[in-house]
Amino acid sequence: MKRKEMHYCQQVDGNVHKIFLYDDISKYGEWNWETWDYDESETSAAHFQKLLEAVPDGEEIELHINSYGGSVSEGTAIYNLLQESKAHKVGIVDGVCHSIAFTILQGCDERIMGYGTSAIIHNMWASVTGNAKQLREEADKLDVCMESCVQLMMRRATIDEAELRAMMDAETVLTPQKALECGLIDKIGVEQKEEPGVKTGKDKSDRKLTREMGVGEKLNG
């Protein structure tokens, strides 16, 4: 059975385009025994680029995230695609936003974590084999990638670089409040939008809620 990954749909009531990133970020999809090749991954940068092309300039993208992370190269490319898009991007964490998925969130104009959600920031790692010389070379490459990642996060972070590096060294789990204090998100919770002419009987301060879409769905990885 093909796993459910990223999905795209356009809301009927306006110009908001929703993308759901509810799986690991990967360049490759499932192995197809009929074609003896990998299916297209719906969480790849190439697939994401097709989705963004369909969004007219000036309209809004809601990127909903519930992902444990995945490929650094694919996630970094998605971050840059979001940065290049002329749409208004709102990133919303619905469940978990770990590792490279949290980097993707940083590419949005507005970064929101729902109540009860979490994020993780950590140093990159890789699985490699080889002799001592080759392993040292791979470690040097990893250091270069980490430097790029730190500078990307520091573009909007309000903490100093030394503190960010220490948090990544410790593989830090971030609550929404902690992420907000560090300048890594802009807001906690999503305001419920009232339909015209419909009154909820609640004050505006009570109209915040956690997005429940996808929460409880089993994720791979």
d(CA 38, CA 27): 10
d(CA 177, CA 171): 17
Give the pLDDT band of residue 199 (cuts 50, 70, 90).
low
Angle at 83 between CA 82 and CA 88, to 5 degrees: 70
Are the C-beta atoms of residues 190 and 114 closer than 8 Å to each other? yes
pLDDT at 59: 92
Does residue 215 belong to any structural domain of this protein? no
Does residue 140 belong to any structural domain of this protein? no
Does residue 31 belong to any structural domain of this protein? yes
Does residue 46 belong to any structural domain of this protein? yes
Does residue 45 belong to any structural domain of this protein? yes
pLDDT in tens, 77-112: 999 999 999 999 999 999 999 999 999 999 999 999
Does residue 93 belong to any structural domain of this protein? yes
Does residue 82 belong to any structural domain of this protein? yes
Does residue 131 belong to any structural domain of this protein? no
Domain that includes residue 39, residue range = 6-123+169-194+202-209
CATH number at 180 reads 3.90.226.10
In this prediction, residues 41-48 reach a mean pLDDT of 93
State the chain's mean pLDDT as an integer: 84
Task: Say how many domains are in the chain.
Answer: 1
pLDDT at 205: 41
Give the pLDDT band of residue 213 (cuts 50, 70, 90).
very low
pLDDT at 40: 86
pLDDT at 197: 53
In this prediction, residues 11-16 reach a mean pLDDT of 61
pLDDT at 124: 86
In this prediction, residues 166-190 reach a mean pLDDT of 97
Helices (DSSP H) in the chain: which residue ranges? 45-53, 72-84, 100-105, 132-154, 161-169, 176-181
Q: What are phi and psi of 150, to 5 degrees?
A: -60, -45
d(CA 135, CA 82): 34
Strands, E, within the chain: which ranges? Answer: 6-10, 16-21, 28-32, 37-40, 60-67, 88-98, 110-113, 118-121, 172-174, 187-188, 190-191, 208-209
